[in-house]
Amino acid sequence: MSIIDKTDAVLEPRAEDFDGPLLEVRDLHVEFHTRDGVAKAVNGVNYTVDAGETLAVLGESGSGKSVTAQAIMGILDMPPGRISKGEIMFRGQDLLKLTEEERRRIRGRRIAMIFQDALSSLNPVLSVGYQLGEMFRVHQGLSKKDAKAKAIEMMDRVKIPAAAARVNDYPHQFSGGMRQRIMIAMALALEPDLIIADEPTTALDVTVQAQVMDLLAELQREYRMGLILITHDLGVVADVADKIAVMYAGRIVERAPVHELYKSPAHPYTKGLLDSIPRLDQKGQELYAIKGLPPNLTRIPSGCAFNPRCPKAQDICRTDVPPLHPVTAADGTELVGRASACHFWKETING
Amino acid sequence: MAELSKKDEPVDATPNVSEVAEIDAHSEEEAVAAIEAPVERGEPILQVRNLVKHFPLTQGILFKKQVGAVKAVDGVSFDLYQGETLGIVGESGCGKSTVAKLLMNLERATAGEIFYKGQDITRLSGRALKAVRRNIQMVFQDPYTSLNPRMTVGDIIGEPFDIHPEVAPKGDRRKRVQELLDVVGLNPEYINRYPHQFSGGQRQRIGIARGLALNPEIIICDEPVSALDVSVQAQVINLMERLQDEFNLSYIFIAHDLSIVRHISDRVGVMYLGKVAEIGTDVQIYDHPTHPYTQALLSAVPVPDPESREGRERIILTGDVPSPANPPSGCRFRTRCWKAQDKCATEVPLLAVPERFKGSDSPAAHESACHFAEEKDVVHAA
């Protein structure tokens, strides 16, 4: 295990002078070459995250939300994956143009990731203290002893009771919620600028989920980090996000500040998702269900990828890919931060 | 050997033996008859009384010594009425899936009774048990692992007929399987396909078709939609509601997603550490919860409405669920409860209508196992 040089000039100044967005993904395309053909997992994704902001990326399995995150982190399996196009600007620097060695310095220190399944993301044969301390040993060159002290400090910070006594325990000795806290501690260890949380609470029970999300939000405020929250749970998103990007078949189909998305969705897919949540006044009635299945990524439908499942689909939807239109209110005033990739967004937003 | 010993027996003993056998056959006959008899809508079809399941914890290799027990289910009682849906919610490890296995008789109960149409199924065997098993079927959580990848869909759905050939005669089976595929909304021509050729939602439909094959009266659904995508969940829930009306089924619906449980259930039971904390109609539980655990659970659910996030009061429990091998004394929830007092550590609260609500017809008057039960509306609080 080599120690990453801590006195590294390229990225070390915390770049306070840079005033663009913290992270900007531009026209990202990712494809996977499989035996059944080329699966186009991400097809032109654009989003930005500012410091202290929470962006929720919402989508079903296969919508490309995790692949986008892996591309940002630089942990995409290549091959079979391939980034065919696009830029990932982190503080004004294109991550995709960096060498592997330069990316390693960013990974963990500036951009960190929290994974869904803490049990399988932690190494079962190493103690949690050792795994947490690895961040400090590798990135900052601390000694084993100092790293362990730091690890205890981090465990305290994520509110693991009796951290000093548990630092030598192994992952299986912790409960699911505690394991997820260790994942959070690991991600926060070097106080990164951006955290990517990929379904951080999906595997947890609701009461524990609330604890973990609260902790994450609190620490995010404290460190003023950017957070990309990847999830399929509309409830979690409503609770913590500032803005939302809804993905479908590798594209962003709608982008909006959180309050407006729930109030007036501008894409039929978002509308369908919101309508399919059981509501009190609908008890005993049939739930609204989006018909059909998400598309196979090796054979994405022509035109709008959602057209075979869309109740509003017309001929134009089958031939023309809708660009991400900026959305305006009924009287023509611009709605800040809103966009919809639907030919008929006007009709959708107005009823 | 059996033949030989019969011959050796004294002649005068023979009538006794045959008499006993006759009585057994007779009671079995009765049991089967009771099980086959129809139940009126709204009558209890399944009654669970003080159900207990302890899994022993052993130590040693050759001489296994029991050192304790995981009290997975510890005194659970409830009724299921014909034609209704009973939702069971709770965190992982609270014993809800063990209850499902006990009801299916896949696990033998340590103590307690399960009456199906008046017959205690924990004591049945042979023909009567087989008849019960035909009438109680299960739909599993994970449609990826609950279907055998080497069997075709036709074989999977038709397999129950091998064990219960009286339901569908041999020549009829293929037709019957195709009917079932049609009922659950799959193309009947898919009968020769394998599970990997289907998506998650379609596989769950196959699982449901298998559950329906023997015309059961009760279907136990253990987290049937939690492995599915949001847009597909609604499809499966709608299908299950349609089938309930069509085939007059009673459901036990186990899930951790409280909004889905509320949508589909007539009554809801909340479990915590092997016990029922609170049980009542959906309105009673969701709008007028009286048990602190239910209140915490409901308030922790993320609501898909950003308007509510500032105003909503959230009860965030500290800590994790204690180990069921060593549950707290008295009330099991007391270690995480903000209302806990000395009484809670010594006295086990019984599942009953709380004293203060007795006789009132307010929706708060439902069974709740808490010494200090009081109503608190956590869902609408603003």
Work out the burial of residue A268: count CB atoms within 10 Å of its CB; fewer than 13 is exposed, 13-18 middle, 19 or more buried.
buried
Most confident of the ranges A208-212, B176-180, B378-382:
B176-180
β-strands B367-368, B275-281 pairing: antiparallel
The last residue of one of the domains, among B219, B239, B265, is: B265
What average pLDDT score do residues B299-321 get? 76
Task: Work out the burial of residue B100: count CB atoms within 10 Å of its CB; fewer than 13 is exposed, 13-18 middle, 19 or more buried.
Answer: buried
Q: Does A171 touch chain B (CB under 8 A)?
A: no
Strands B250-254 and B218-222: parallel
B-chain CB neighbours of A281 within 8 Å are: none
Give per-residue pLDDT as tens, B130-141. Answer: 888 899 999 988
Mean predicted confidence (pLDDT) in B114-142: 88
pLDDT at B51: 92
Sequence-distant (≥ 6) Cβ neighbours of residue A341 within 8 angstroms: A251, A252, A253, A254, A267, A304, A322, A323, A324, A325
pLDDT computed for residue B145 by the predictor: 87
Which CATH architecture describes the domain A23-241? 3-Layer(aba) Sandwich (3.40)
What CA–CA distance (Å, rounded) separates A345 from A266? 5
In this structure, are B86 and B225 located in the same domain?
yes
Q: Is residue B92 part of a domain?
A: yes
d(CA A155, CA A167) in angstroms, rounded, equals: 8
CA distance A147 to A145: 5
Q: Given A211, A237, A287, which is nearest B316 (Cβ)?
A: A211
**Are residues B320 and B235 both part of a single domain?**
no
Shared-domain flag, residues B132 and B215: yes
Neighboring chain B residues of A63 at a CB cutoff of 8 Å: none
Domain that residue B96 falls in: 45-58+67-265
* Chain-chain contact of B231 with A278 (C-beta, under 8 angstroms): no
Q: A210, B234: Cβ pair inside 8 Å? A: no
Residue B333, pLDDT above cutoff 70: yes
Residues of B in Cβ contact (< 8 Å) with A289: 231, 234-235, 238
Q: How confident is the model at residue B380 (pLDDT cuts 50, 70, 90)?
A: low
Indicate the pLDDT class of residue B26, thresholds 50, 70 and 90: low
Residue B12's pLDDT is what?
A: 46
Residues of B in contact with A235 (CB under 8 A): 301-304
Q: Is the pLDDT of residue B170 over 90?
A: no
Q: What is the token pair recorded at B330?
A: 């008295």
Looking at the fold, whether B201 and B81 belong to one and the same domain comes out as: yes
pLDDT at B5 over 50: no
Q: How confident is the model at residue B94 (pLDDT cuts 50, 70, 90)?
A: confident
State residue A245's pLDDT score.
93
- pLDDT one-digit tens code per residue, B260-284: 898 899 999 999 999 999 999 988 9
Residues B337 and B222 in one domain: no
DSSP B376: -
Do B243 and B172 lie in one domain? The reply is yes
Q: Where are the domains of chain A?
A: 23-241, 246-349
pLDDT tens per residue, range B135-168: 999 998 888 888 999 999 999 999 999 888 888 8
Instruction: Supply the DSSP symbol for A298.
Output: T
Please check whether residue B145 lies inside any domain of the structure: yes
**Tens digits of pLDDT across chain A (351 residues):** 555 554 444 444 444 556 778 899 999 999 988 888 888 889 989 989 998 899 999 988 888 888 899 899 888 887 788 888 899 998 888 888 888 888 888 888 889 998 887 778 889 999 999 999 988 998 888 899 999 998 998 888 888 888 888 889 998 888 888 888 888 888 888 889 999 998 888 777 787 888 888 888 888 888 888 999 998 888 888 888 889 999 998 899 999 998 888 888 889 999 888 888 877 666 767 788 888 888 888 888 888 889 888 888 888 888 888 888 888 877 777 778 888 888 888 888 876
Taking Cα atoms as reference points, which of B288, B364, B369 lies closest to residue B78? B369
What's the total number of domains in chain B?
2
The pLDDT of residue B21: 44
Q: Could you give the strand order of the β-sheet that contains B65-81, starting from the edge strand earlier in sequence?
A: B65-81, B44-59, B111-116, B119-120
Under the banding of pLDDT at 50, 70 and 90, the label for residue B13 is very low
Domain boundary among B221, B246, B265: B265
B302 contacts in chain A (CB < 8 Å): 206, 209-210, 213, 233, 235-236, 238-239
Contact criterion met (CB < 8 Å) for A277 and B307: no
Structure tokens at B193: 């396909």
The per-residue pLDDT for B271 is 92
Residue of B142, B310, B320 to mutate when probing chain A, most A C-beta within 10 A: B320
Given B256, B260, B318, which is nearest A205 (Cβ)?
A: B256
**Side-chain-facing half-sphere of B339: CA atoms under 13 Å:** 16
**Using N-to-C axis directions, what is the helix angle for A128-140 and A144-157, rounded to 10°?**
120
pLDDT 10s digits, B211-249: 999 999 999 999 888 878 877 888 889 999 999 999 999
pLDDT of residue A5: 53
Residue B270 lies in a domain: no
